[in-house]
């Protein structure tokens, strides 16, 4: 593992002083069918940037939230039947449970970015912005750090195996 | 990635992870540039059309939707005007009441089916596409374009093949299919319904099901009521012909209902079977799970093996959100790419709105006036004739049976062709994306500032002919992107991370040979990513 020197950023600083080096994509896990789950495999590019338990915790939490959004239980059936009875017009006025959970997820990701990922020069993109296909993690390099050093760390992390 | 680049990230591009930022940025940009910020629907790569500033989405060809609406409206209105008074007097007040409720249900669910996003998957960003390409090529394929790529996943202990979509640059999730008419990948794709003018997919399947079920009830109800009406009139030995003479509109309703009830009832029954077994029309037609391929282990992996659970999950499950974010604002540098297409799209949308409004107002007028019957029928015929010119092949028989009298040639509103004039050759280069050229940090501002009216007539003095060439290509590229090769489609996708410049910043000499040269360039750049 190469530990490249990085300075601790907050989210604001990241925008103004860092440049994008690489992006890692966590794909969907379809073993359970079409419900929304993401693979928890730890990408090799992040090995030098963040501790594995922290990362896995974030992804697992996201999976739990998505499972909650798509859960088919009493409340969702009630919502569905009520919607059918009103010719689905209540969708125009009411926020569905899914949307509420999505907002919660957005806040969670924002919080994780601010507390954990931005200080390490990483940024998680909300999957909804990518069509729920991937969790995109952007890896930033400090503009001030030497090009070769950060270059080598990212290339070694992403070289084909 | 073997080839990494260090790029300046435009601060606005970082606003995407935090959803609250884009509108503020858009407002700031608005003040700076003095123009309204663009919404994402304006640059949508598929072939859909948008109304009400992105709130309503329909497929490119509205297909037979006006006919569907028209038939339903006409039949129901005739029913209320000619049959209900008689039945109200002789039978019960519940008849118009039930008819009204069913009619409202039918129209609302039809409009929702047509105007709702069926579950369109947004196309992969160039970063994602590159990442997937890298993963595929790492797994051993040596040629540049290997045969159709598939990926196998295990779903509920069953092997399912996921196909790679060349247009959308991603592996399609299970049950997703690419609709060629709309040029989109749609989740849980059922079919593209011309009657409804939209794809039927995960998000609007319940509306579609409600529509066909309530329509079958309505059709059967009207048919029954009209038959009762005629039977009551023909009582006392006066005969059916007398009854028909007294109420000729009932004949029209009978004919329409008779011909449509079979197909609609059949469709409802078929879809009830699909819902109960958690299948889509697409899967049923292809026989994905019926064991035709000869392999063992081919049950439907998505079925819960319980009819009630299947029905509930399909019809009453949670409503997934729209993934394409039509009304979000675009980051500024992306909008400069497609400013040339604004004019065409805006014009197209205005024309389509006019058509829709005109069409509906024609029906409303017909319904409200009570002209002599001859006038009404000829009006109906003229409208049907007009629609005939827009109809698909299969519906012509239905029309001919419905309208018996010769169609007069009235002065119909000129249906403006909504597609681009066919003057562009398929080898439309319009290549704009050079991933391995260090992007010019100064985005090409002149295009955006050039304004809607000037983009294809005047050009900024420093980039004269090339830019003009680009605008011309971009304008037509928007409508031809589906027909040109898929790699070109991906290049048009805007990505906030890449500061895309419309013209190669340092080579003014490309000019007319730009097309092939740029394609080669792109091919090379893709090769370097591997």
Q: Do B521 and B510 meet the contact criterion of CB atoms below 8 Å apart?
A: no
Interface contact flag, B319 A83, Cβ < 8 Å? yes
Query: Which residues of chain B does A16 touch, with a Cβ-Cβ cutoff of 8 Å?
Result: 11
Query: Which residues of chain A does B318 touch, with a Cβ-Cβ cutoff of 8 Å?
Result: 69-72, 76, 79-80, 96-98
Helix (H, G, I), strand (E, B) or coil at B401: helix
- Cα–Cα nearest to B6, from A2, A121, A9, A18: A18
Q: Do B522 and B437 meet the contact criterion of CB atoms below 8 Å apart?
A: no
Distance (Å) from the alpha carbon of A139 to chain B's nearest alpha carbon: 11
Q: Do B149 and B136 meet the contact criterion of CB atoms below 8 Å apart?
A: yes
Q: Between A34 and B35, name the one with better pLDDT.
A: A34
Interface contact flag, A34 B174, Cβ < 8 Å? yes
Distance (Å) from the alpha carbon of A3 to chain B's nearest alpha carbon: 19
User: Cα dist. B80→B17, B89, B222, B242, B393 in Å?
Assistant: 54, 13, 10, 21, 31
Helix (H, G, I), strand (E, B) or coil at B153: strand
The minimal CB distance from B16 to the residues A14, A19, A129 is found for A129
H or E stretch at B198: strand B198-200
Interface contact flag, B4 A154, Cβ < 8 Å? yes
CA geometry: angle B205, B207, B210, nearest 5 deg: 110
The minimal CB distance from A88 to the residues B6, B109, B313 is found for B109
| Per-residue pLDDT, A65 | 92
Per-residue pLDDT of chain B (530 residues; tens, 9 = 90+): 444 444 444 444 444 444 444 444 444 444 444 446 677 777 777 777 777 777 777 777 777 889 999 999 999 999 998 888 888 888 888 889 999 999 999 999 999 999 888 989 988 888 888 888 877 766 555 555 555 578 888 888 888 888 888 888 888 888 899 998 888 899 999 999 989 989 999 999 999 999 999 999 999 999 999 988 888 888 877 777 888 888 888 888 888 889 999 999 999 999 999 999 988 998 888 887 765 554 455 678 888 888 888 888 888 888 888 888 766 666 655 444 444 444 444 444 444 555 555 555 555 555 555 445 445 555 555 555 565 555 444 444 544 544 554 444 444 444 433 444 444 344 444 333 344 444 344 434 443 343 344 434 444 444 444 444 444 444 444 444 434 443 443 334 344 444 434 344 444 443 344 444 444 443 444 444 44
Q: Catalytic residue among B182, B185, B193, B199, which?
A: B193
Q: Look at the alpha carbons of B286, B289, B292, B294 in this order and tell me if their dihedral is positive or negative.
A: positive
Instruction: Return left, alpha or beta for B63; rule: phi > 0 is left, psi -120 to 50 is alpha, else beta.
Output: left
The minimal CB distance from B312 to the residues A77, A88, A98 is found for A77
H or E stretch at B378: helix B373-388
CA pair distance B39, B53, nearest whole angstrom: 8
Interface contact flag, B8 A21, Cβ < 8 Å? no
Q: B162: Cβ–Cβ under 8 A, 6 or more apart, which residues?
A: A30, B150, B151, B152, B153, B171, B172, B173, B174
CA pair distance B447, B460, nearest whole angstrom: 8
Tell me the two tokens of residue B332: 């500024």
Q: A64: Cβ–Cβ under 8 A, 6 or more apart, which residues?
A: none
Interface contact flag, A19 B9, Cβ < 8 Å? yes
DSSP letter at A147 equals H
Tell me the two tokens of residue A27: 């794909």
Size of interface A-B (CB pairs under 8 A): 155
> Within 13 A of B519's CA, how many CA atoms are on the CB side?
13
Q: Does B193 participate in catalysis according to the annotation?
A: yes
Alpha-helical runs (H) found in A22-96: 52-69, 74-85, 90-93
- Number of Cβ within a 10 Å radius of residue B147: 7
Query: Which residues of chain B does A155 touch, with a Cβ-Cβ cutoff of 8 Å?
Result: 1-2, 4
Interface contact flag, B173 A34, Cβ < 8 Å? yes
CA pair distance A85, A87, nearest whole angstrom: 5
In chain A, which among 38-97 make CB contacts under 8 A with chain B? Answer: 69-72, 76-77, 79-81, 83-84, 87-89, 91, 96-97
pLDDT per position as a tens digit, A66-102: 998 888 888 888 888 888 888 788 888 888 888 889 9
Query: Which residues of chain B does A34 touch, with a Cβ-Cβ cutoff of 8 Å?
Result: 173-175, 187-188, 302
User: Cα dist. B192→B180, B391, B517 in Å?
Assistant: 9, 15, 38
**Is A102 an interface residue toward B (CB < 8 Å)?**
yes
Query: Which residues of chain A does B497 touch, with a Cβ-Cβ cutoff of 8 Å?
Result: 20, 23, 138
**Is A112 an interface residue toward B (CB < 8 Å)?**
no
CA pair distance A80, A76, nearest whole angstrom: 6
Distance (Å) from the alpha carbon of A53 to chain B's nearest alpha carbon: 23
CA pair distance B492, B249, nearest whole angstrom: 54
pTM above 0.80, yes or no: no
Residue matched to tokens 């049976």:
B401
The minimal CB distance from A158 to the residues B1, B7, B153 is found for B1
Interface contact flag, A69 B108, Cβ < 8 Å? no
Exposure string of B218-235, with b = 16+ CB inside 10 Å and e = fewer, is bbebbbebbebbbeebbe
> Partners of B152 in the beta sheet?
B161
| Per-residue pLDDT, B100 | 93
Tell me the two tokens of residue B26: 């858009």
Nearest CA in chain B to A132: B323
Interface contact flag, A102 B312, Cβ < 8 Å? no
Distance (Å) from the alpha carbon of B501 to chain A's nearest alpha carbon: 18
H or E stretch at B103: helix B94-115
Query: Which residues of chain B does A102 touch, with a Cβ-Cβ cutoff of 8 Å?
Result: 321
| Per-residue pLDDT, A59 | 92
Interface contact flag, B17 A128, Cβ < 8 Å? no
Exposure string of B55-81, with b = 16+ CB inside 10 Å and e = fewer, is ebbbbbbbbbbbbbbbbbbbbbbbbbe
Interface contact flag, A87 B109, Cβ < 8 Å? yes
Query: Which residues of chain B does A87 touch, with a Cβ-Cβ cutoff of 8 Å?
Result: 104-105, 108-109, 112, 210
The minimal CB distance from A72 to the residues B7, B175, B313 is found for B313
Interface contact flag, A133 B128, Cβ < 8 Å? yes
Interface contact flag, B302 A109, Cβ < 8 Å? no
Interface test with A, best of B6, B106, B493 (most A CBs within 10 A): B6
Query: Which residues of chain B does A75 touch, with a Cβ-Cβ cutoff of 8 Å?
Result: none
Distance (Å) from the alpha carbon of B521 to chain A's nearest alpha carbon: 23
| Per-residue pLDDT, B69 | 92
Interface test with B, best of A39, A133, A134 (most B CBs within 10 A): A133
| Per-residue pLDDT, B360 | 57
Tell me the two tokens of residue A98: 């899914």
Interface contact flag, A33 B125, Cβ < 8 Å? no
- Cα–Cα nearest to B348, from B20, B62, B150: B62
């Amino acid at each position: 593992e190469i530990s490249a020197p990085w300075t601790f950023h907050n989210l604001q600083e990241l925008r103004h002083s860092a440049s994008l080096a690489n992006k890692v994509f966590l794909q969907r896990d379809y073993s359970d069918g079409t419900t929304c789950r993401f693979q928890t495999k730890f990408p090799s590019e992040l090995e030098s940037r963040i501790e594995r338990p922290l990362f896995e915790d974030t992804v697992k939490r996201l999976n739990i939230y998505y499972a909650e959004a798509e859960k088919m239980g009493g409340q969702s059936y009630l919502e569905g039947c009520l919607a059918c009875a009103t010719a689905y017009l209540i969708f125009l006025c009411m926020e569905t449970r899914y949307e509420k959970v999505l907002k919660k997820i957005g806040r969670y990701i924002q919080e994780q970015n601010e507390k954990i990922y931005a200080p390490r020069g990483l940024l998680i993109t909300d999957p909804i912005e990518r069509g729920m296909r991937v969790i995109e993690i952007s890896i930033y390099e400090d503009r001030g750090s030497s090009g070769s050093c950060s270059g080598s760390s990212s290339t070694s992390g992403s070289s084909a195996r | 990635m073997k080839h990494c680049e260090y790029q300046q990230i435009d601060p606005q591009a970082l606003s995407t992870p935090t959803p609250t930022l884009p509108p503020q940025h858009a407002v700031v940009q608005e003040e700076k540039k003095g123009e309204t910020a663009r919404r994402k629907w304006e640059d949508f790569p598929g072939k859909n059309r948008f109304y009400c500033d992105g709130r309503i989405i329909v497929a490119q060809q509205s297909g037979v939707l006006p006919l569907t609406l028209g038939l339903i409206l006409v039949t129901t209105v005739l029913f209320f005007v000619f049959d209900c008074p008689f039945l109200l007097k002789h039978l019960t007040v519940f008849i118009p009441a039930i008819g009204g409720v069913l009619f409202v249900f039918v129209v609302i669910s039809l409009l929702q089916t047509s105007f709702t996003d069926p579950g369109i998957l947004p196309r992969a960003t160039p970063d994602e596409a590159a990442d997937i390409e890298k993963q595929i090529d790492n797994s051993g394929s040596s040629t540049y374009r290997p045969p159709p790529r598939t990926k196998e996943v295990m779903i509920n202990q069953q092997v399912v093949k996921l196909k790679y979509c060349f247009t959308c640059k991603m592996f399609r999730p299970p049950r997703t299919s690419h609709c060629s008419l709309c040029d989109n990948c749609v989740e849980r794709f059922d079919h593209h319904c011309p009657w409804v003018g939209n794809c039927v997919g995960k998000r609007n399947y319940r509306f579609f099901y409600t529509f066909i079920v309530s329509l079958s009830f309505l059709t059967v109800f009207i048919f029954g009521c009209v038959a009762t009406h005629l039977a009551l009139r023909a009582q006392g030995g006066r005969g059916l012909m007398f009854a028909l003479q007294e109420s000729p509109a009932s004949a029209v309703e009978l004919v329409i209902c008779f011909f449509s009830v079979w197909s609609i009832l059949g469709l409802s029954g078929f879809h009830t079977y699909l819902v109960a077994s958690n299948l889509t029309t697409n899967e049923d037609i292809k026989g994905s799970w019926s064991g035709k391929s000869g392999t063992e282990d081919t049950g439907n992996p998505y079925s819960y093996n319980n009819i009630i659970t299947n029905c509930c999950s399909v019809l009453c499950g949670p409503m997934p959100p729209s993934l394409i974010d039509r009304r979000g604002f675009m980051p500024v540098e992306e909008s400069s790419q497609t400013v040339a297409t604004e004019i065409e799209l805006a014009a197209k949308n205005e024309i389509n709105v006019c058509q829709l409004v005109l069409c509906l107002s024609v029906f409303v007028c017909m319904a409200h006036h009570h002209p002599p019957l001859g006038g009404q029928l000829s009006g109906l015929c003229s409208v049907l004739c007009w629609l005939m010119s827009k109809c698909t092949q299969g519906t012509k028989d239905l029309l001919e049976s419905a309208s018996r009298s010769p169609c007069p040639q009235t002065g119909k509103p000129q249906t403006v062709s909504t597609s681009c004039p066919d003057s562009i050759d398929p080898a439309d280069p319009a290549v704009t994306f050079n991933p391995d050229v260090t992007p010019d940090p100064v985005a090409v501002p002149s295009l955006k500032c050039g304004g809607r009216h000037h983009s294809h007539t005047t050009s900024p003095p420093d980039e004269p002919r090339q830019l003009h060439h680009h605008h011309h290509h971009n304008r037509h590229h928007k409508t031809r992107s589906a027909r040109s090769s898929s790699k070109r489609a991906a290049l048009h996708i805007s990505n906030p991370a890449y500061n895309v410049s419309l013209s190669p910043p340092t080579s003014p000499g490309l000019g007319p040979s730009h097309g092939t040269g740029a394609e080669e360039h792109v091919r090379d750049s893709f090769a370097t990513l591997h």
